[in-house]
Structure 1
Amino acid sequence: MPRPATNKRERLTAAAIHMARESGLESATIAAIAAAAEVPAGSVYYYFKTKDDVAAAVADGIAAVLADGREGLDSADDRAALTGFLRAYLDDSTAVVSYGTLLSTAATVGGADAHREALGWLTSRFAGLGFADGAARARALHLLAGVEGGAALAHALGEAEPLEREVAHLERWVANAGG
């Protein structure tokens, strides 16, 4: 039974995101993206005219996933939201070890916007804990650098331990944070 045509773009974008995380966007050819999405290669050009269009779709798709994840934490108090942000890295640890983080992939593909958005969200959460603007931003930078660094090392070593240890450390740090 043929697939409905209505979700081709989503399937193509999902395939491109997977490839970008797995081996970098440069290795994601139109033919490979089409095959992974089970879409005829000629159809890809209807949705993505250039490799830059694919990169933009990947960056936008990852940004949407990350925004949805943060949105899911918005109802939590600030401390719980920060801990939830850290826990999301552990929930994705198998993929992090294999592919790196979604945030880093988005930055590689589409620039630093995803990091800036995460940093802004983290800064607002630390401000909610009572930290002044400069201190809230400094703490947000520290948390983001720590968890992304732990994830990068986990990816490089092919094991989750560096990420697990860094998240545990940062969770204790957040639990003791007070403005």
Structure 2
Amino acid sequence: MTDSKRSDRAPVVTGRGKRERLTTAAVKMLHEQGVEKTTLADIARAADVPVGNVYYYFKTKDDLVEAALGAHAQGLQTMIASFEGLSTPQDRLKALIGGWVGQRDLAARFGCPTGTLCSELGKRADGLDRTAAKVMQGMIDWSEQQFRLMGRSDSRDLAVALIAAYQGISLLTNTFRDPELMVREGDRLERWIDSLGRPSEDPGDPA
């Protein structure tokens, strides 16, 4: 659900091992073009690796898709670890929202990196759909833990509501090519998180 801003068609990185460069390129190209449209040649070109060398590291495109999913999972863990120094679960959840808002221009162009991949792979039944689901599950599980630390007995429902709100606004931001939609939704979600400690608010509705 996080990524970095990048220019079209530029080589990804040229100073690292070929397997890592190919994985990074796969993340980029699958996000920008989708699984079906992206070819091994596209990924090789973005990684600045001869296409013939790809098969030494990845036998099929599906192997590269699986590696890209692993990179998404690792990115999630890195992001979560960066929040651990924040003192309260509310602060950690709002840092997550801030990260989403910070990627609003990317979302406007291509949608959520993880969400779009999960959506496309969800149409398949070859195992990659379940691998993709585990990445999304990791985000829900972490959010649930934060809500539980806030003393919420409905932490699971709140976590699902938060991630669903983000995926929904990512779709609309991409559909309308309007990054400000993400900004406004981020502000609303932060207010919602603040409201959860006030008993007068409906705890299950992030609206």
TM-score between both structures, scaled by the size of structure 2: 0.79
After TM superposition, give the deviation of residue 102 of structure 1 in Å. 2.4
**CA–CA separation in structure 1 for the residues paired with 2:186 and 2:109:** 18
Maintained 8 Å contact 2:34/2:117? no
Q: Following superposition of structure 1 onto structure 2, how do residues 131-150 of structure 1 map, counting pairs within 5 Å?
A: 131-132=152-153, 135-150=154-169
Are residues 1:127 and 2:138 paired?
no
Alpha-carbon distance, 1:106 to partner: 4.4
Shift of 1:177: 1.6
Structure 1: segments with no counterpart, 5+ residues: none
Gaps of at least 5 residues in structure 2 are 1-13, 122-127, 200-207
- Bigger helix share: 1
Q: Across the two proteins, how many residue pairs are aligned to each other?
A: 174
Tell me what 2:110 maps to.
99
State the distance in 2 between where 1:67 and 1:99 align.
Answer: 22
Distance 1:84 1:130 in 2: 19
Residues 134-173 of structure 1: pairs in structure 2 closer than 5 A: 135-173=154-192
TM-score by length of 1: 0.91
2:8 matched to which residue of 1?
A: none
RMSD: 1.6
**CA distance in structure 2 between the partners assigned to 1:62 and 1:158 by the alignment:** 23
- Within the candidate set 71, 75, 79, 1:65 is matched to 75
In structure 2, C-alpha distance between the alignment counterparts of 1:63 and 1:121, rounded to whole Å: 12
1:90 aligns to what? 101
Cα deviation for residue 74 of structure 1 reads: 1.9
Which piece of structure 1 moves more, 89-98 or 103-112?
103-112
1:25 aligns with 2:35: yes
1:175 corresponds to:
194
CA offsets per residue over residues 82-134 of structure 1, 9 Å max, x none?
001111111111111111112214424542111110000000000000011xx
- CA–CA separation in structure 1 for the residues paired with 2:183 and 2:135: 22
Equivalent residue for 1:116, pick from 109, 123, 137: 137
Determine helix, strand or coil for the equivalent of 1:26: coil
